[in-house]
Structure 1
Amino acid sequence: MKTNWKIGAAVAVFLLVPMAACSTDVPNEAVEGEAAEEEKGPHRGKMLRDGDFAVEMTVFEDGVPPEFRVYPTRDGKPIDPKTVKLTVTLKRLDGEIEKFAFKAEKDVLVGQGVVVEPHSFDYEVVAVENGKRHVWKYSSPEGQTKINASAAKDGGIVIETVGPQTISETREVEGVVQLNTTARSEVRAQFPGKVMQVTKAVGDYVKKGQLLARIESSESLQIYPVYSPVSGVVAERNANVGNVAYDQPIYVITDPSSTSVVFNIFPRDLGTIRPGQKVIIETLDGKIVAESTLGGYLPEGNAAAGTALVRANLPNRDGRWRPGIALHGKVMVSAVTVPLAVRTEALQPFRDFTVVYANFGEMYEARMLELGRKSSEWTEVLSGIKPGTKYAAKGSFLIRQDIEKSGASHDH
C-alpha cells in the first residue's frame, strides 16, 4: 500500500456487472430487485438505490489512508447516519475477504479500516435502516485483465513466485581480453643449425607432439626433428628454410582458450572492488559472456587512463574471445538476502504507483508495491503483495498494454 495519499476526495468509479438490490420489511431476509443503472451522487460516488432509500459509496483519500465514506439518503435528502447500520464485505481476486464496519461521524458513515490497493473487489453492501434490510452486490475490477494461456505464451509472459532473493550491489568496469601468461610457448632448436624444413605457418593450429621443423646440427651435421610441446595456434614463425636456428624461438605457439579480461579500476572504486569478488562479464551491448572471479591487482596500472588493473579468468574454449576485444564487467561488491523480491523487469507504472501483475489462472491484476533495494535483476518488495503470489516476471508490458487498451483502470 502506498503511504503518501493523493490530495482531494477520490471516488471509486466502478466497472460493473449488473447490480442486484433487494429489500424487505423483515430484517435479514433478502428479496431480489431490479438491476439499476450506474449513477453518481453529489460527492461523485456511486449511488446504490433501493426504493426511496439510497447510499452513496465513496473512497476518501484526502490526507488519510483510503477509507470508505458512505452518505445515506431518503428521497434524495440526507438522513442521520446514526440510524443506519452498515457493513461492506469485499472479496478479492485471490479469494481474500475483508469486512468493514462503519461509524457515524456528522453526516457520513466512515469505514473502520484502510481500503488497501488495488481497489478491485466483489462488493456486498448491507444497510439496515428503520428495520429494513437493503443488500447490493456488484463487482468493481481495477487494473485487471484476462489473457488466455496460448496468448500469454505467444506474448512471452513468464510466471514466477514472489519470495526471498539475494540482491547484489554492483560496480561497472571496462576491460580488454588478454592471453594468460601461461598461454604462450616459445619453441627453440635443441642444437644450433641450419633449418631444413618448416611445416607450419602463422595461424595454423597444431597439436602437441606434431612436427614443426627439421634442423641440421652444425656440430654433428645430423638432421633432427622439432616437435610442438603444446597444442595451440601458431602466433609467430621466425625461421624459414636455409636460416640458421640459434637461440631465438623458431615458433611461438599460443593457446587461444587460455584468456582473461583485464579490467580498469578507477581510484574511487579501489576501496570497494577487491580480489575474490564475483564479476559478470558481458559484451558491450549487455549480453552475458561468463561469470568469473577477480584475481589480484596487477603490479602495474594503466598510466594513460590513471587506473589500476585487475584480471579475471575468461572461459574461452572455442577461442571466440580474441586478445584486444573490449568487454564490460559488473562486479558484485555486496549481497543481501531479502524476504520478498520480484524481477526488476516485471515492474510497470500504473497511475502513480509501481506495480507487478499478480496471476490467477488466466486473470492478471495489478499489485501496488512499496519497494526497497534494487539491482538490475531483482527489486526488494516491502509491501503490496503476499509471499507465494504468482506474478508475471516477464512480458508484463503486454499485460499493461492490454489493461490500458481495455480501460480496466479507473481514476481515483
Structure 2
Amino acid sequence: MKIYLLGAAPVMALTLLAACGETATPEKEDAAATASEYERGPHRGRMLRSGPFALEITIFEDGVDPEFRVYAYRDDKPVKPTEVALAIELGRLGGRIDRFSFTPQDDFLRGSGIVAEPHSFDVRVVAREGGRRHKWSYAAYEGRTAITAAAAKAGGVKTEAAGPATISDRIDMGGRIEITPEGKADVRARLPGLIVSLDGNLGQQVRRGQLLARVESSHSLQVYPVTAPIGGTIIEKNVNVGDTTGDRALFVIADPAKLHAEFFVYPRDAERIRVGQAVTLKNLSGEGQLQAEVEAVLPTADVASQTMMAHVHLPPIASRTFRPGMGVEGSFAVAQTNVPIAVRTKAIQRFRDFEVVFARVGDTYEVRMLEIGRRTPEWTEVLGGLRAGEVYVTDGAFLIRADIEKSGASHDH
C-alpha cells in the first residue's frame, strides 16, 4: 500500500468547521477511551451520538486505499446521506492536520481523500442536519507511546533527523587480510658464514636498524652485524647459534600496521570494480566494521578460477581488529545515488505488515509506515511515509516497538 500525505480539503469543510463552534452542543468522548470501550455500529464503526442523531465513522480499506465512509442515523434509523453535511479534521502528532470534506454516495458519506497511515490522530467531527449542528472529538491512537527522556537515555534510545543521503549500489565478496609487500621483510646475511650470536627472538618487537645477529664471515673470518631492515614483529626465526647462514632468511619481520585486504573478483563483477571505490569491511563474525578504498586491481586473472585480485588499503588503526590471514567480507560501492530522504537501515522495524521507523516528538514516539526504495546495509531510501526533517529513532527502536506492543496500541476504527 502506498502512503500519501493529505492536503487541504475543499473550502466547504473549513466553513462547516468554523461555523459549528457558534451553536453546537457537542458530545465529547473520553480521549483515553480504548477500542473496546466505544459503541460500535452496524458496520463495525465508531458510533457518535448527539440526542436522536448519530454518525457511524468507519475507515474502509478493502481493496482500496483507506478512506472515510460515514453512515448517518436518526433514532437509530438510516438517514439519507444527502441530508447531512459533514467535515472531519485529523490532528497528527507533530501538528499536521488532515482535513476531509464528504460527498453522498449510495447509503454513506465518502471522504475526499486517503486516510494515511498510521491511523493515529486526534479526531474532530462536525455535522449539520435538519438545521442543527453537532460536533464530537476523540482520540484514536495506534503505534504510539510516551517515554521520558531519562528512560529513553537509559534504554540506549538515539535519534536523528531524516534527510538526504548517498545510496550506494554494492557488490559483496569475500577475501582475506594480508600484510602489504612493504610491510614484510626477510632478514638475510650479506656474506656466508657462521652465526656466532643471536639477539632476535620469535615474537619480538624490533625497530629498524636494531641488531639481530652477528655472523663470522667464511672468507675474512671477521664478524659483522645483521640488523633489522624495517620495524615490526619477528614472525619467523629460522636459525640458531652455530648454524651457517646459507641462502635462507635468518628472520622474517612483519609490520602488523601495514595491511591490505585481498579480494577475488569474479568475471561477472570485474568490469564494475575500480580503484578508489569505497569498501565496507567486516570480519566473518560481523564485527569490526571498517571503511576503506580499493587501491589496486591486478590486471591478471587466475588460470583455474578466472578471478582477478583487488587490493583494498587498510589504515593503521585496522590492526586493532584485523589480523593477517583472517577472512573478511567486503561490500564494494560500485555506484552511488543521492536521494532526498533516507533513514539508517538499522532503524527499520516490523509493525503489522509494514516496515517502519518510530518518529519522536518530545517524549512521544509513534510509528511511521515507510514506502521504501533502494536499500544498503547503512541507508534505506524513503519514498513515502516520513517527511524530511522528522526526527526518528536510530538506536533502541526495538525497545520502542516493545513498549507499543505492551501498551496494546491497535489498528482499530
TM exceeding 0.5:
yes
**TM-fit CA distance, 1:27:** 8.6
Tell me which stretches of 4 or more aligned residues in structure 1 moved more than 6 Å.
Answer: none
Counterpart CA distance in 1 for 2:136 and 2:129 is 14
Counterpart CA distance in 2 for 1:249 and 1:38 is 87
Which residue type is aligned with residue 329 of structure 2? H
Number of the residue aligned with 1:29: 23
Number of the residue aligned with 1:365: 366
1:46 maps to 2:40: no
The change in CA–CA distance for 1:306 and 1:135 in structure 2 (over 3 A counts) is same
Which residue type is aligned with residue 400 of structure 1? R
The change in CA–CA distance for 1:242 and 1:97 in structure 2 (over 3 A counts) is closer
**TM-fit CA distance, 1:35:** 5.8
For residues 210-267 of structure 1, the C-alpha deviation after alignment (integer angstroms, 9 at most, x for no partner) is 2222233444443333332322222344444334446554433332322222111222
Of 74-83 and 237-246, more deviation after overlay is shown by 237-246
Number of the residue aligned with 2:295: 295
Which residue type is aligned with residue 367 of structure 1? R
Please give the secondary structure, in 2, of the residue aligned with 1:399. helix
Counterpart CA distance in 2 for 1:243 and 1:337 is 64
Of 271-280 and 124-133, more deviation after overlay is shown by 271-280
Which residue type is aligned with residue 30 of structure 1? A
**Alpha-carbon RMSD:** 2.6
How do 1:204-283 residues align onto structure 2 when only pairs under 5 Å count? 204-245=204-245, 248-283=248-283
Which residue type is aligned with residue 354 of structure 1? E
For residues 144-188 of structure 1, the C-alpha deviation after alignment (integer angstroms, 9 at most, x for no partner) is 111222222233221111111111121111112222222232333
The change in CA–CA distance for 1:220 and 1:110 in structure 2 (over 3 A counts) is closer
**TM-fit CA distance, 1:99:** 2.2
Counterpart CA distance in 2 for 1:88 and 1:322 is 64
Structure 1 gaps of 5+ residues are 5-25
1:398 maps to 2:392: no
Structure 2 gaps of 5+ residues are 5-19, 31-36
Counterpart CA distance in 2 for 1:231 and 1:203 is 13
The change in CA–CA distance for 1:272 and 1:219 in structure 2 (over 3 A counts) is closer
Please give the secondary structure, in 2, of the residue aligned with 1:31. coil
Please give the secondary structure, in 2, of the residue aligned with 1:298. strand
Q: What TM-score does the superposition give when structure 2 sets the normalisation length?
A: 0.86
Please give the secondary structure, in 2, of the residue aligned with 1:288. coil
Mapped contact 1:27–1:128 kept (Cα < 8 A): no
Of 331-340 and 124-133, more deviation after overlay is shown by 124-133
How do 1:296-375 residues align onto structure 2 when only pairs under 5 Å count? 296-298=296-298, 301-302=301-302, 305-316=305-316, 318=319, 321-375=322-376
How do 1:66-81 residues align onto structure 2 when only pairs under 5 Å count? 66-81=66-81
Please give the secondary structure, in 1, of the residue aligned with 2:44. coil
Please give the secondary structure, in 1, of the residue aligned with 2:152. helix
The change in CA–CA distance for 1:64 and 1:326 in structure 2 (over 3 A counts) is closer
The percent of aligned pairs where both chains have the same amino acid is 47
1:153 maps to 2:147: no
**TM-fit CA distance, 1:50:** 1.0
Counterpart CA distance in 2 for 1:242 and 1:98 is 91
1:286 maps to 2:286: yes
Counterpart CA distance in 1 for 2:78 and 2:343 is 47
Q: What TM-score does the superposition give when structure 1 sets the normalisation length?
A: 0.86
Mapped contact 1:236–1:252 kept (Cα < 8 A): yes
The change in CA–CA distance for 1:100 and 1:34 in structure 2 (over 3 A counts) is closer
Number of the residue aligned with 1:10: none
Counterpart CA distance in 1 for 2:141 and 2:334 is 44
Mapped contact 1:280–1:288 kept (Cα < 8 A): no
Counterpart CA distance in 2 for 1:321 and 1:346 is 27
**TM-fit CA distance, 1:269:** 1.6
Which residue type is aligned with residue 378 of structure 1? W
The change in CA–CA distance for 1:110 and 1:316 in structure 2 (over 3 A counts) is same
The change in CA–CA distance for 1:341 and 1:321 in structure 2 (over 3 A counts) is closer
